[in-house]
Amino acid sequence: MLNKKIASMLNDQINKELYSAYLYLDFADYYAAEGLDGFANWYEVQAKEERDHAFMIRRYLLSNGHSVVLEAIAKPDKTFKTLLDPLEAGYAHEQYVTSLITEIYHEAFGQKDYRTMQFLDWFIKEQGEEETNADDMIKKFKLFGSDAKGLYALNQELAARVYAPSATGPAM
């Protein structure tokens, strides 16, 4: 069994990951409506990865004898004025998620819960990658997005992203 507070923080994180999936699906819908199917594809794949993160945490709780309480998922409430807006919102969101994972890690460290720390190691690394990806998207958009040909090429590049379930999940 895990410490109650850690189990509760992990349970909350399931909701946050599912919200992330919802948020990115909303981004995908925005880009689809703008005719940028490549951008939409990139965020659809991202939404699937976020859903997977929720499932991984759910599995960890269940494997450790905890029940899971699924809470309501908040409605994404962002409105976008420019094509850059979702990219910036995505980067800010990933930084927020990193802070949440860090808080759980910090609690696990304080409780000498080395198992949960080991479990979260995968998420710490994943967050580093997700922040880098989000930042790269902004940089590329700023470089190429203002020109129609550049935007077309960037859209083609993002269309190539393929969803692949994570081969190496976190330690359970």
Q: How far is the CB of 134 from ligand FEO (least distance, A)?
A: 8
Residue with tokens 């599995």: 59
27, with CB counted inside 10 A (0-12, 13-18, 19+), is buried
Q: Under rule CB under 6 A, which residues in 131-170 are in contact with ligand FEO? A: none
Q: How many CA atoms lie within 13 A of 151 on its CB side?
A: 11
For ligand FEO, the closer of residues 99 and 156 by Cβ is 99
Among 6, 9, 19, 20, binds ligand FEO (CB under 6 A): 20
Dist CA 48 CA 42 (whole Å) = 10
* Residue 26 interacts with ligand FEO (CB under 6 A): yes or no: no
Residue with tokens 């609690």: 107
What does the radius of gyration of the chain's CA atoms come to, in whole angstroms? 17
Please count the residues of this chain forming the interface with ligand FEO, following the rule CB under 6 A: 7
Of all residues in this chain, which one has the CB nearest to ligand FEO in the complex?
53
For residue 73, the 8-state DSSP code is P
Q: Under rule CB under 6 A, which residues in 38-97 are in contact with ligand FEO? A: 50, 53, 94, 97
* Residue 17 interacts with ligand FEO (CB under 6 A): yes or no: yes
Contacting residues toward ligand FEO, per CB under 6 A: 17, 20, 50, 53, 94, 97, 130
